[in-house]
Structure formats: structure tokens, C-alpha cells
Chains A and B, each alone.
Chain A
């Protein structure tokens, strides 16, 4: 009978606090991850929004090609007009 009471006391005074301590640690770790994930989500959303202008690079590419072509034509004319050094 006495051993039963000792076992009950051990369960309540030792095992239960240890279980609570370990579970509290897991919960605290999980809660600490949540703000980081939220921050990463905000940053990735902002980065994705910043890249909305990327398709304009295609326009830039076309305009650069046209500009270089115009410069080449102008250079060809200069090559004819001006004597060599």
C-alpha cells in the first residue's frame, strides 16, 4: 500500500513536471518559428512585387537593339563623310 502511494507521488511530483517542461519547450520552439515565417513571407511578397518591372526588360532590349542599329547607320554615314586619320 505504501509503495502505491509513493508511486502516485512520483507520478505527480516528478513525471508530470518533466512532461510539462518538455512539452512547453516544444511549444515555445514552435511559437518562435511563426514570426520568422511571417517575416519571410512578407519579404518574399515584397521581392515578388519588386520584380513586376522585369517584363519591361524586353522593351529595353528592343530599344537597345534599335538604338544600336541607328548608331551603326550613323557610324556608317560618318565613315563615308569623314576621312580616315
Chain B
């Protein structure tokens, strides 16, 4: 049998080569796509787990925030009720320096208050007792002695917390003058009061040498 190699045979060989290339690359591509599909299946499984695990997070966090908000509102209200807004801001600023700028959440006007320097007078522990100890029984029974603030005359102790000099050195300030007809020092009325202003003579011009 004689095999004749003609142009038809060449055509067949060329098509066979093309088909072989197609098969090889398409099979390789299919294998890669299968790997991708497997990986995406695993990813979808993990993402589904993430979605299931995070589903209740929003409600739980909202509930926690609601509880904490209620606690903060209650504590702020109690602090302001017992200490007054100004002392409350000073107390908060003493414990957390700079917090007075943010103010109390339930009291927007607290941001405009200049915080008294409570933190410079008392330490953190005594600050709490200071609020407790004004007239509370716990202060009366303190084994260390007197309460942080005088339970009988607490107004002066509270006044010392403020930066006004009158609260710290009241005895060294001059007394206020007594005026009126019964004043111990009487001054004669000056004649020039109520008159036109007197014109002073002009000063001679001086030249620097």
C-alpha cells in the first residue's frame, strides 16, 4: 500500500494540530476553573458563617448601649442633683482632665461652665468621699478624724475649692467702704464736681539736645 502525501493530507494534519491545541488548552482551563469553583465554594461557606455569626450583633450592641446610656444618665443626674452642676463638672474634670470641655451628656449647658479645680484640692479617692462626707453618717464615723469637709460649716470648705481669692484669703482683703450719711468717715463735697472741666496751661515744649 502506498501512502501518498498530498495537499489534502496536509490539511488534515493541520486541522489535527489545531484540534490538539484546542483540547489541551481547554482541558487545562477547565481544570483551573474547577479549582476556582472549589475555592469559591469554601469562601461562600465561610462568608455564610460570618453572616450567621454577626446577625445578632446589632441588636445585642444596641441593648448594651441602651443599658449603658441609662446608667450614664442616671449617674449624671444623681451627680448633678447632689453636687450641683458646677461642682459636678469640676468633679468630672478632676477625675478625667479635659472632660469638662465635653460636658455632661444630659446637661448641654455644662459645656459653658468653667470647671472649679476640685482635682487639685483632693485626690481621686477623697473626691468621692468629699461628696459623700458633707453630712453623711459615714463621715461622722470616720476613724481618721474629721470629715473632709466640715459637716457643720461646710460652706467655707466648699468655697475654698474655687479660684476666687475671696474664698481663700478673706481675712486679708480690705473691708468694703461704708458710705452714706451714717458712714464713719465723711468727706466734704468738692467744689469742682459738676463744674466744667478746668483747662490746664500747656506745657512748654522741650527739645532733646
Contact = CB atoms under 8 A, between A and B. Distances in A.
A41 B39 contact: yes
Contacts, number: 153
B35 A34 contact: yes
Given A41-B42, A83-B82, A85-B84, A11 B15 contact: yes
Contacts of A84: 81-82
Interface residues of A, number: 49
B71 interface: yes
A48 B49 contact: yes
A79 B39 CA distance: 62
A40 B47 CA distance: 10
Contacts of A40: 39, 43
A30 B67 contact: no
Interface stretch (B3-11, B100-108, B169-177, B187-195): B3-11
A27 B36 contact: no
Contacts of A52: 53
Given A23-B29, A57-B60, A68-B70, A48 B39 contact: no
Given A27-B28, A82-B131, A16 B18 contact: yes
Interface of B: 6-8, 10-11, 13-15, 17-18, 21-22, 25-26, 28-29, 32-33, 35-36, 39-40, 42-43, 46-47, 49-50, 53-54, 56-57, 60-61, 63-64, 67-68, 70-71, 74-75, 78, 80-84, 87, 131-132, 134-137
